Amino acid sequence: MNATFSGAVRVLVGSSIGKAGLILLGFLVAVSVWVLVTYPLDFGTREWSNPAVWADNPKAVPPTWTNIFPGSDNVAHATLTTSEPYDVRTAGSVTAETYRLPLAHNFDGFPTFISFSLEPVTFQGRPPLITLTLERPDGGTVRLLQHVPSGGRDGETGPFVRYLDNPYRILLSTEETFRSALADYHNERYGTDLGERDLRGFGDQAAFGTPVAGDGAAFEPLQGEYTFVVTATFADENDSMEGAKVVIGGDVFGGMGSDSQGRDLFVGLLFGFPVALFIGLLASTLTTAIGASLGIMSGYLGGWVDTAIQRLADVVANVPLLPILIFMVIVLGSNLLLIILVLVAFSWPGLTILIRSMVLQLRSGQLVEATKALGASQRRVMIRHIFPQTAPYVFAQMIFFTPAAILAEAGLSFLGLGDPSIPTWGQILEQGFRTGAVYVGYWWWVLPPGLLIVLTAMAFVLLALAIEPVLNPRLRTMR
Amino acid sequence: MALVRTLSLRAATLLGVLLTVLVLLVVTLGSTGFSDRILTAVINEEIRALRTAQATQARDTDALEEALEVRRQELIEFYDLDKAWWERMPATVFRVITLDLGEARTLRSSEGSRRVSDIVLERLPNTAILLTTSLVITAVIGLAVGVKMATRVGTRLDRTVSFGAAISFALPAWWTGILLILLLSFQFNILPSGGMFSTPPPEGDIARFFDLLKHAILPIITLVLVSVGPYLYAVRTMTLNVAQEDHVLVARAKGLAESAVMRQHILRVAAPPIVTGLILSLVGSLGGSILVETVFNWNGMGRLYFEAVAGTPDEGLIVALTFIFTLMYVVARFVLEVLYLLLDPRVRYSG
Angle (nearest 5°) at CA A192 between A191 and A195: 130
Name the minimum distance, in Å, from the CA of B161 to any CA of chain A: 12
Residues 6+ apart with CB under 8 A from A265: A254, A256, A257, A258, A259, A428, A444, A445, A448
Given a cut of 90, whether residue A340 has pLDDT beyond it is: yes
Span A369-383, mean pLDDT? 81
CB contact under 8 A, A458 and B20: no
Q: What is the DSSP letter of B330?
A: H
Binning pLDDT at 50, 70 and 90, where does residue A1 land?
very low
Mean pLDDT of the region A354-371: 81
Whole-angstrom distance, CA of residue B243 vs CA of residue B300: 41
Q: Which of B191-195, B200-204, B324-328 has the highest mean pLDDT?
A: B324-328
B23 shares contact with chain A (CB less than 8 Å): no
Alpha carbon distances (Å) from A6 to A29, A87, A175, A468, B75:
22, 69, 70, 14, 67
Determine the pLDDT at residue A279. 93
CA distance A425 to B169: 18
Which range, A260-264, A343-347, B329-333, is most confident? A343-347
Helix (H, G, I), strand (E, B) or coil at B103: strand
Q: Is the pLDDT of residue B196 over 50?
A: yes
Q: Which of B170, B325, B330 sits opposite A323 (nearest CB)?
A: B325
Beta-bridge partner residues of A116: A170, A246
Tell me how far apart the alpha carbons of residues B174 and B194 are, in angstroms, rounded to a whole number. Answer: 13
* pLDDT tens digits, B232-285: 888 888 888 888 888 888 888 888 888 888 888 888 888 877 877 777 777 777
Q: Do B240 and A454 touch (CB under 8 A)?
A: no
Phi, psi of A320 (to 5 degrees): -70, 125
Question: What pLDDT is recorded for position B260?
Answer: 83
ipTM given for this complex: 0.83
The residue of chain B nearest to residue A455, with distances taken between CA atoms, is B170
Q: Which residue in A340, A18, A462 sits closest to B169, CA to CA?
A: A462
How many other CB atoms are there within 10 angstroms of residue B351's CB atom?
Answer: 10
- Closest-CA distance, A465 to chain B, in angstroms, reads 8
- Local confidence band at B348 (pLDDT 50, 70, 90 cut-offs): low
Asked if B181's CB is within 8 angstroms of A438's CB, the reply is: yes
B31 touches chain A (CB under 8 A): no
The upper half-sphere exposure of residue B255, i.e. CA atoms within 13 Å in the direction of its Cβ, equals 0
When comparing pLDDT for B131 and A8, which is higher? B131
The closest alpha carbon to B172, from A366, A455, A146, belongs to A455
Mean pLDDT of chain B: 81
Q: Contacts of residue B282 in chain A, CB cutoff 8 Å? A: none
| Closest by Cα among A44, A29, A31, A53 to A335 | A44
Work out the number of other CB atoms within 10 angstroms of the CB of residue B124: 15
Q: What is the pLDDT of residue A289?
A: 93
The percent of residues above 90 in pLDDT, for chain A, comes to 16
User: How much is the pLDDT for A5?
Assistant: 65
Region of poorest pLDDT, from A216-220, A248-252, A305-309: A216-220
The answer, yes or no, to whether residue A448 has pLDDT greater than 70, is yes
Chain B residues with CB-CB distance to A416 below 8 A: 310
Task: Tell me which long-range contacts A2-8 makes (C-beta under 8 A, separation of at least 24).
Answer: A3/A392, A3/A393, A3/A470, A3/A471, A3/A473, A4/A391, A4/A392, A5/A388, A5/A391, A5/A392, A5/A395, A7/A392, A7/A470, A8/A392, A8/A395, A8/A396, A8/A467, A8/A470
Choose the most confident range, by mean pLDDT, from A58-62, A145-149, B86-90: A145-149
pLDDT at residue A245 tops 60 = yes
Nearest to A239 by CA among A86, A146, A125, A156: A125
Using the predicted structure, report yes or no on whether residue A475 has a pLDDT greater than 60: no
**pLDDT tens-digit readout, B85-119:** 777 778 777 877 777 777 777 777 777 778 888 88
- Contact list, A314 vs chain B (CB under 8 Å): 13, 16-17
Residue A429 exposed, middle or buried by CB count within 10 Å (0-12, 13-18, 19+): buried
- Cα distances from B20 to residues A23, A146, A160, A286, A314, in angstroms, run 43, 71, 67, 23, 11
Reported confidence tier of residue B188, pLDDT bands at 50, 70, 90: confident
| B54 and chain A in contact, CB less than 8 A | no
CA-to-CA distance for A118 and A113, rounded, in angstroms? 17
User: What per-residue confidence (pLDDT) applies to B304?
Assistant: 87
Q: How far is CA A322 from CA A13, A360, B14, B178, B286, in A?
A: 34, 32, 18, 20, 9
| Interface contact A327-B182, CB threshold 8 A | no
Residues of A in contact with B329 (CB under 8 A): 318-320
Contact: A450, B179; criterion CB under 8 Å: yes
Restricting to B residues 107-146, those with a Cβ less than 8 Å away from any Cβ of A are none
- Condensed to tens digits (0 to 9), the pLDDT of residues A410-426 reads 988 988 888 888 889 99
Statement: residue A473 has pLDDT above 60: no
Chain B residue with minimum CA distance to A332: B32
The rounded distance, in Å, linking the Cα atoms of B306 and B290 is 7
CB < 8 Å to B174, chain A: 411, 414
Q: How many CB atoms sit inside 10 A of residue B40's CB? A: 14
Question: In this structure, are residues A258 and A380 in contact, taking their beta carbons and an 8 Å threshold?
Answer: no
A288 CB burial (10 A radius; 0-12, 13-18, 19+): buried
Q: Which residues contact A2 (CB under 8 A, 6 or more apart)?
A: none
A60 vs A257: CA distance, rounded Å: 7
- Select from A280, A268, A281, A356 the least CA-distant residue to A317: A356
Record: contact A320-B167, CB cut-off 8 A:
no
Q: Which chain A residues contact residue B325 at CB under 8 A?
A: 320, 323
Q: What is the nearest CA distance from A382 to chain B, expressed in angstroms?
A: 29
Distances in Å between the Cα of A97 and the Cα atoms of A87, A161, A241, A245 are: 6, 18, 10, 15
Give the model confidence (pLDDT) of B17-48 as tens digits: 888 888 888 888 888 888 788 778 878 888 88
A30 — pLDDT class (breaks 50, 70, 90):
very high
Confidence label for B351 from pLDDT (cuts 50, 70 and 90): very low
User: Burial level of A41, CB count in 10 A (0-12/13-18/19+)?
Assistant: exposed
More confident residue, A98 or B55: A98
Q: CA of B149 to nearest chain A CA: how many angstroms apart?
A: 13
pLDDT at A477: 43
Whether B85 and chain A come into contact, CB under 8 Å, resolves to: no
State whether the Cα torsion B46-B48-B50-B52 is positive or negative.
Answer: negative
Phi, psi of A178 (to 5 degrees): -60, -45
d(CA B189, CA A398): 42
Q: Cβ separation of B166 and A465 shorter than 8 Å?
A: yes
Residues of B in contact with A457 (CB under 8 A): 169-170, 172
Residue A479 is predicted with a pLDDT of 35
Q: Do the Cβ atoms of A322 and B237 come within 8 Å?
A: no
- Residue A141's DSSP bridge partners are A135
Q: Do B290 and A468 touch (CB under 8 A)?
A: no
DSSP B184: I
Inter-chain residue contact B17 with A461, CB threshold 8 Å: no
Asked if pLDDT for residue A243 goes beyond 60, the answer is yes
- Under an 8 A CB cutoff, do A478 and B21 touch? no
Chain A, nearest residue to B292 by Cα: A411
The answer to whether A359 and A296 are in contact (CB under 8 A) is yes
Q: What is the mean pLDDT of residues A221-233?
A: 89
Contact B309 A326 (CB under 8 A): yes
pLDDT in the model for residue B68: 82
Say whether pLDDT at A309 is over 80.
yes
pLDDT score for A478: 40
- Residue numbers in B near A438 (CB within 8 A): 178, 181-182, 186, 193
Angstrom distances, CA of residue B98 to CA of A370, B28, B78, B102, B320: 55, 21, 21, 11, 11
Distance from CA of A477 to the nearest CA of B (A): 10
The three-state secondary structure class of B291 is: helix
Contact yes or no for B118/B109 (Cβ under 8 A): yes
Contact A411 B174 (CB under 8 A): yes
Cα–Cα separations (whole angstroms), residue A112 to A79, A184, A245, A315, A374: 13, 22, 16, 58, 81
How wide is the angle at C-alpha B5 spanned by C-alphas B4 and B10, nearest 5°?
Answer: 100
Residues in chain A closer than 8 A to B240 (CB atoms): 474-475, 478
Instruction: Determine the pLDDT at residue B349.
Output: 58
Q: Is the confidence at residue A247, as pLDDT, over 50? A: yes
Q: How far apart are the first and last CA of chain B?
A: 8
Q: What percent of chain B has pLDDT over 70?
A: 96
Which of A322, A323, A438 lies nearest to residue B186, judging by beta carbons? Answer: A438
Nearest by CB to B166, which of A315, A323, A458? A458
Is B238 near chain A, with CB under 8 Å? no
**Statement: residue B321 has pLDDT above 60:** yes
Q: Where do the H-state alpha helices sit in chain B? A: 2-31, 34-55, 61-78, 85-97, 116-151, 156-170, 173-180, 205-243, 246-253, 258-260, 268-296, 301-309, 315-343, 345-350
pLDDT for A70 beyond 80: no
- B/e letters for A370-408, b = 16+ CB within 10 Å, e = fewer, are ebeeeeeeeeebbeebbbebbebbbbbbbbbbbbbbbbb
Which has the closest alpha carbon to B298: B120, B113, B129?
Answer: B129
